[in-house]
Amino acid sequence: MALLPLAAVALLLFNAASGQRVPKPPRPEPIDVVELPLPPVISSDAVGACTKKANPRRTGCIGQDFVDFQSGDFTPDGNHVVVNLEFIGAPVAPDPASIYTGEQLILVKTNGKKFPNGDPWKCLTCGVPAANAQALDPERDYPHVARSGTKALWGHNIIDCGDALLSSDACTPNNTFIYPIFWPVTPDGSGAGGVPREMRLHPDDVHMGWSSFTANGGQNTYFGRLEFNPDPSSGDVRAPRYDLVDVNFLADPTGPASLMVNDQGELEQHPEAIRVGELRGFSGAGDEILYIGPTREANNHDIFAVHVVTGKVRRITSHPEYADPVAFSHDNNWFCVMDTRGSDRQMWMAGMRGIPPLIDGVTVMAAASTRNNYHRRFFQPILIDRYGDRGSYFGQQVNAGSDPNWNGRADPAFSYDGTKIVYWQALVTSPACGGVNPLPCPTSTAQGGRVYRVMLARLKNRKPTKPAAVFDVPDFIPWAIPFPPGSEYPEEYVLPPGTYTLRGTVSGTANATFVENPTTGALQTISVEYDNYSDDGEHVINGVESVTSTPNPTNPWMSHLDWTSDLVGTGVVEATKKTGPGGFQLSIEAMTNAFNANGTLTTTIDGVVYRQPANGA
Ligand SMILES: *[C@@H]1O[C@H](CO)[C@@H](O)[C@H](O)[C@H]1NC(C)=O
Ligand SMILES: *[C@@H]1O[C@H](CO)[C@@H](O)[C@H](O)[C@H]1NC(C)=O
Ligand SMILES: *[C@@H]1O[C@H](CO)[C@@H](O)[C@H](O)[C@H]1NC(C)=O
Ligand SMILES: *[C@@H]1O[C@H](CO)[C@@H](O)[C@H](O)[C@H]1NC(C)=O
């Protein structure tokens, strides 16, 4: 990657695209990482296996393998984090320890102290009377603590401790209520409701963002308001619940698509286009929505932020590697992203910079799928300032030098004062290691052989900061589509098949041919010829690339690609992206992520060669 020539001398760079003064990137800072305690591990999940010997305080045991595990936010005091986990081996009622069973939300101390009972954790949801949790939703992922500290988002549920802070002794099972979240999607509110995923709470504690899968494997994303409904008269959930109301569909119906054909019959890129892909959350102030957006460079998946009112879009990561779970600091000045950068996982397909995202019309799902191998993630937490990757600045790995076999997972979080980050990791296990896989399975170093752990990073040199004032977000986002129950899905721009020229912003052309599948009407083949193409004057692309996608008639998550590539990049780096004789054929499923290919696709950057992974690796 090019050094930004002015970065060394200029304190401030003017970013023409955003109209914002972008400061010089920060220097790396010292960070300490420690592991946080969790309940004791037992090796059997038999009833009663969590004995007094295993846990003398009789407050639950957990397993070596993780079933449903996630850490989430800090409480406002910075001394606790929420953790969703699975208790196993509980004795039967009326033994008081019987409440420590199944998927529950706990708080873990981050300051080495203990709760009054002597444990460094406390279960928030164990033993909540049935009358207080009448219609608990089984989805309990992505736990997030509300800014008030008295509520938490627990999957499709809201945990509510009234006026008591969740971390306080006043928050007991008897005064904890758990309400399901219901998304009415039929005009009269009847039925099972919509199926949200990736739910995140806005810092105003009232609004929510979420995504939902479409039938063809795509995703739509929404923003709405939580409204308490104490006595629902419609819908399948007839218990006190939170309804998602004032729902917005997060796309701009009047704006351009990110890639479209203009009136002159030429292709145009529109980086200002708003199309919110998978929701990733909100900025610290809640003035921006974070999401995985349409790619700006071929096979390079990034995090974007769109302002909730102005609709201004910022690309906040641009490293060729894959960025995904992300959290902003509460002062709005930093973010921490789980990213494959440093692992070289995706460099063979995305390492060459400056290639416009044309083949992405058929490769996007496969390119996203190769980031994982089965449940092995190649993510580590990366700390970046709010302006994002720029020039030679690609942030700082929070846990630099740590064992890469411990993989970062979703979501990281900042303490409210900005001095701590919490994240969790899982250890590589079979079939992502061992057997035919070239990676031997490592032995866990965590307590009881546990293959998951919660890590606390201390930003040692930082002074505490105050959370930013919460942005007063309107119920209806000016650029979005109001989406009341029963709404029709908006029609989206579809690039018509044909041959078009895309002119580089600085030089050259990319002539692209888009061929549709005669049966499905979806794009089938995209072939591009590059002639001195450059968008930045630093990366100049020449050569040809062509990819054909064969859909799987029964599985929308399955990609099969037949790929040929012969690209040469000149300018600030010498790069090539080439397939071997016979091209490169890749089959990969987006849910299992098992790499399976014939042939080769290789990227070389200034003499450094990046090869595709071995099959199954
Ligand atoms: C919770 O409420 C139940 C039922 O009223 C009562 O029996 C129990 O003692 C209460 N528990 C605590 C810890 O107050
Ligand atoms: C790209 O298309 C333009 C317009 O049709 C044409 O003039 C140009 O020669 C083409 N470039 C290449 C490399 O084929
Ligand atoms: C190719 O593009 C570069 C800038 O990207 C420009 O300086 C050069 O003149 C172009 N060459 C030709 C043959 O157009
Ligand atoms: C690789 O080639 C073998 C043998 O022709 C074939 O069975 C397999 O489906 C191919 N795999 C891919 C990913 O195309």
* pLDDT per position as a tens digit, 297-337: 999 999 999 999 999 999 999 999 999 999 999 999 999 99
- Which conformational region is residue 136 in: left (phi greater than 0), alpha (psi within -120 to 50 degrees), or beta? beta
Residue 488 domain flag: no
Per residue in 381-408, is it b (16+ CB within 10 Å) or e — as a string?
Answer: bbbbbbbbbbbebbbbbbbeeeeebbbb
For residue 367, what is the enclosing H or E element? helix 360-369
Q: For residue 385, how many C-alpha atoms fall within 13 Å in the half-sphere facing its CB?
A: 11
Out of 454, 482, 510, pick the residue that ends a domain.
482
Q: Which helix (H) or strand (E) holds 154?
A: strand 151-154
Name the residue at shortest CA distance from atom 3 of ligand 2.
Answer: 501
**Helix, strand, coil fractions of the chain, as percent rounded to 5:** 5, 40, 55
Reported residue count of the chain is 617
Task: Say if 26 falls within a structural domain.
Answer: yes
Tell me the three state secondary structure of residue 599: strand
> 250 and 286 in one domain?
yes
Closest residue CA from atom 4 of ligand 2: 501
pLDDT at 9: 30
Question: Do 340 and 215 sit in the same domain of this protein?
Answer: yes
| Cα(123) to centroid(ligand 1), Å | 16
Written as one string, the DSSP assignment of 130-146 is GGG-TT--S---S-EE-
CA distance 482 to 478: 9
Give residue 496 CA to ligand 3 midpoint distance, Å: 30
φ/ψ of residue 497, rounded to 5: -55, 150
Q: Give the distance (Å) from ligand 4 centre to CA of residue 598.
A: 6
Dig out the tokens for 80 from the structure: 């606790």
DSSP state, residue 85 = E
Is 6 among the domain residues?
no
Q: Which of 174, 175, 177 to mutate to test the pocket of ligand 1 (most atoms within 8 A of CB)?
A: 174
Domain limit, last residue, from 482, 508, 529: 482
- Residue 50 near residue 60 (C-beta atoms within 8 A): yes
| CA–centroid distance, residue 507 to ligand 2 (Å) | 13
- pTM for the whole structure: 0.95
Q: Are 595 and 617 in contact (CB under 8 A)?
A: yes
Residues 254, 394: one domain?
Answer: yes
CATH number at residue 83: 2.130.10
Copy the structure tokens of residue 456: 């606390």
Q: Ligand 4 atom closest to Cα of 562? A: 14
Rounded Cα–Cα distance for residues 107 and 123 (Å) = 6
448: left (phi over 0), alpha (psi -120 to 50) or beta: left
- 178 and 207, same domain (yes or no): yes
Strands (E), 413-557: 413-414, 420-427, 452-459, 481-482, 498-503, 507-516, 523-534, 539-549
Residues 304 and 547: their CA atoms lie apart, in Å, by 26
Residue pair 52/58 in contact by the 8 Å Cβ criterion: yes
Instruction: Based on the fold, state whether residues 474 and 524 are members of the same structural domain.
Output: no
Q: How far is the centre of ligand 3, averaged over its atoms, from the C-alpha of 410 (Å)? A: 44
Which pLDDT belongs to residue 116? 97
- Among the bound ligands, the one closest to the CA of 94: 1
Domains in the chain, number: 2
Closest C-alpha to 412, from 334, 344, 470: 334
144 and 257 in a single domain? The answer is yes
The token pair that represents 323 in the structure block: 């960025």
Q: How far is CA 339 from CA 223, 386, 387, 409, 573, in A?
A: 25, 16, 17, 10, 23
263 burial level (CB within 10 Å; 0-12, 13-18, 19+)? exposed
Both 477 and 506 in one domain: the answer is no
Ligand found nearest the CA of 598? 4
Closest atom, ligand 2, to C-alpha of 529: 13
Long-range CB pairs of 309-312, under 8 A, 24+ apart, other chains included: 309/473, 309/474, 309/477, 309/478, 311/252, 311/255, 311/274, 311/478, 311/479, 312/18, 312/272
Note whether 392 and 251 are same-domain residues. Answer: yes
Regions of the chain where pLDDT drops below 70:
1-20
C-alpha 602 to ligand 3 mean position (Å): 26
Indicate if 134 and 59 belong to the same structural domain.
yes
Ligand 2 pocket test target in 501, 503, 566 with most atoms within 8 Å of CB? 501
Last residue of a domain, one of 425, 453, 482: 482
Q: Separation of 128 CA from ligand 1 center, angstroms?
A: 10
| Same-domain check for residues 176 and 224 | yes
Task: Tell whether 189 and 243 lie within a shared domain.
Answer: yes
Q: 590 in a domain, yes or no?
A: yes
Distance 523 CA to ligand 4 centre (A): 22
- Provide the pLDDT for residue 253: 83
3-state secondary structure of 384: strand
* Residue 331 domain flag: yes
Give the Å distance between the CA of 587 and the centre of ligand 4. 9
Q: Alpha helix locations (H) across 302-346?
A: none
431 cis-preceded (ω within 30 degrees of 0):
yes
Cβ contact 7:392 at 8 Å: yes
Nearest-CA neighbor of 109 among 181, 34, 174, 31?
34
Q: Is residue 474 domain-shared with residue 512, that is, in the same domain?
A: no
Ligand 2 proximity of 513 Cβ (cutoff 6 Å): no
**Of 585, 588, 601, 612, which is best to mutate to test ligand 4, by the most ligand atoms within 8 angstroms of its C-beta?**
585
Protein residues whose CB sits closer than 6 Å to any atom of ligand 1: 172, 174
User: Distance (Å, rounded) from C-alpha 129 to C-alpha 357?
Assistant: 53
Our mutation pick for probing the ligand 3 site, out of 353, 507, 542, counting the most ligand atoms within 8 A of Cβ, is 507
Is residue 2 situated within a structural domain?
no
The closest-lying atom of ligand 2 relative to the alpha carbon of residue 511 is: 1
Nearest CA to ligand 4 atom 4: 598
Q: Which of 560, 564, 598, 600 most suits a substitution to test ligand 4, by most atoms within 8 Å of the C-beta?
A: 598
In what helix (H) or strand (E) does residue 609 lie, and over which residues does it extend?
strand 608-611
| Burial of residue 567 (number of CB atoms within 10 Å: 0-12, 13-18, 19+) | buried
**Does residue 366's CB lie within 6 angstroms of at least one atom of ligand 4?**
no
Q: Is 542 in the pocket of ligand 2 (CB under 6 A)?
A: no
Boundaries of domain holding 471:
12-482
Residues 6 or more apart whose Cβ sits within 8 Å of residue 411: 70, 72, 142, 144, 281, 325, 326, 327, 338, 423
Q: Is the CB of 505 under 6 A from ligand 3?
A: no
CA of 567 to the centre of ligand 2 (A): 17
Q: Considering the domain boundaries, does residue 4 fall inside one?
A: no
Ligand 4 neighbour 612 (Cβ under 6 A): no
Within-domain flag for 493: no
